[in-house]
Amino acid sequence: MSFPEPKPRGPVLPQKRLKTLDCGQGAVRAVRFNVDGNYCLTCGSDKTLKLWNPLRGTLLRTYSGHGYEVLDAAGSFDNSSLCSGGGDKAVVLWDVASGQVVRKFRGHAGKVNTVQFNEEATVILSGSIDSTIRCWDCRSRRPDPVQKLDEAKDGVSSVKVSDHEVLAGSVDGRVRRYDLRMGQLFSDYVGSPITCTCFSRDGQCTLVSSLDSTLRLLDKDTGELLGEYTGHKNQEYKLDCCLSERDTHVVSCSEDGKVFFWDLVEGVLALALQVGPGVVQSLAYHPTEPCLLTAMGGSIHCWQEEAYETEGGTG
């Protein structure tokens, strides 16, 4: 006799504050999970990048080499390398284990807002206030980018990469998708300056946040507007948005000290999570679990579902 399969659990949201880490690096400009969600990176206004185990609250390494504040960072698929960009206009490739700078790529004419590795971590893509996306070959000694995408008419605020696509948001109000297999560019006009873009986990949709305090869910292939999400405040800062680990909820930072969760399909507000009194500067969602990191001021907070128990009890 076979027992029936247990019903899959409905989506749960991370609303229990598990840890608060004072990062000791000035204002935290961005927080990012690594590929498997076991570690995170924090980008500091004091020019440093730090690697943490957020659940334990332990600092693993500090990376120093930028000349000005660090604005974004990403980890490679195998956890061996990091890339970062910042106010010094540089893109830096780091060796995780040694903490050393492997390469420093220069060429942007303004601060670097956003960095990403491609899937194999052979190329770093960087988006800058100078309106360009530049692609840097991690294995080459050449100082020039291997490619420059300069279609944006204003600063590039957000770049995301899939196996064959680059998704870019710009202050010019357009979200652009470069299909590298087909050699095609698709552009959708949102109108308001774009602060963040991302792919849904299933790769079918794109989420776009902009300075009209609105998030929009677009069909990736047709550009059709599938949903709009409002209630948060985003009028002046570059804030992060994302989808939850199972694509059930749309998640956004807000300038009023909260993180907002909306039901993706219904479009209704599911939770307004009070983080603190300031602007929620950045967020990162765990790739497989209902776990959220938020950055406010000089600290990051780690959030889990209400039922979550730490090893050896709560705490």
**Per-residue pLDDT tens for 82-127?**
999 999 999 999 999 999 999 999 999 999 999 999 999 999 999 9
pLDDT for 53 beyond 70 = yes
Q: For residue 11, tell me if it sits in a domain.
A: no
Stated length of the chain? 315
pLDDT for 142 beyond 80 = yes
Q: For residue 23, tell me if it sits in a domain.
A: yes
For the chain, the three-class secondary structure string (H helix, E strand, C coil) is CCCCCCCCCCCCCCCEEEEEEECCCCCEEEEEECCCCCCEEEEECCCEEEEEECCCCEEEEEEECCCCCEEEEEECCCCCEEEEEECCCCEEEEECCCCCEEEEECCCCCCEEEEEECCCCCEEEEEECCCCEEEEECCCCCCCCCEEECCCCCCEEEEEECCCEEEEEECCCEEEEEECCCCEEEEEECCCCEEEEEECCCCCEEEEEECCCEEEEEECCCCCEEEEEECCCCCCCCCCEEECCCCCEEEEECCCCEEEEEECCCCCEEEEEECCCCCCCEEEECCCCCCEEEEECCEEEEEECCCCCCCCCCC
Task: Report the alpha-carbon distance of residue 17 to residue 304 in Å, rounded.
Answer: 7
pLDDT for 315 beyond 50 = no
Split at pLDDT 50, 70, 90, the class of 314 is very low
Q: For residue 4, tell me if it sits in a domain.
A: no
Span 210-214, average pLDDT: 97
215: exposed, middle or buried (C-beta count within 10 Å: 0-12, 13-18, 19+)?
Answer: buried
Q: For residue 5, tell me if it sits in a domain.
A: no
Q: For residue 73, tell me if it sits in a domain.
A: yes
Split at pLDDT 50, 70, 90, the class of 7 is low
**Per-residue pLDDT tens for 54-91?**
999 999 999 999 999 999 999 999 999 999 999 999 99
pLDDT for 166 beyond 50 = yes
**Per-residue pLDDT tens for 220-279?**
999 999 999 999 999 999 999 999 999 999 999 999 999 999 999 999 999 999 999 999
Split at pLDDT 50, 70, 90, the class of 11 is confident
Span 10-24, average pLDDT: 93
Split at pLDDT 50, 70, 90, the class of 5 is low
Q: For residue 6, tell me if it sits in a domain.
A: no
Averaged pLDDT of the chain: 94
Q: For residue 312, tell me if it sits in a domain.
A: no
Contact 310, 59 (CB under 8 A): no
Domain count, the chain: 1
Task: Report the alpha-carbon distance of residue 8 to residue 126 in Å, rounded.
Answer: 39
pLDDT for 292 beyond 90 = yes
CATH of the domain at 205: 2.130.10.10
pLDDT for 46 beyond 70 = yes
User: What is residue 245's predicted lDDT score, i.e. its pLDDT?
Assistant: 93
Split at pLDDT 50, 70, 90, the class of 200 is very high
Q: For residue 290, tell me if it sits in a domain.
A: yes
User: What is residue 4's predicted lDDT score, i.e. its pLDDT?
Assistant: 66
pLDDT for 312 beyond 80 = no
- Identify the domain containing residue 261 by its residue range: 16-304
Span 273-297, average pLDDT: 96
Task: Report the alpha-carbon distance of residue 118 to residue 270 in Å, rounded.
Answer: 33
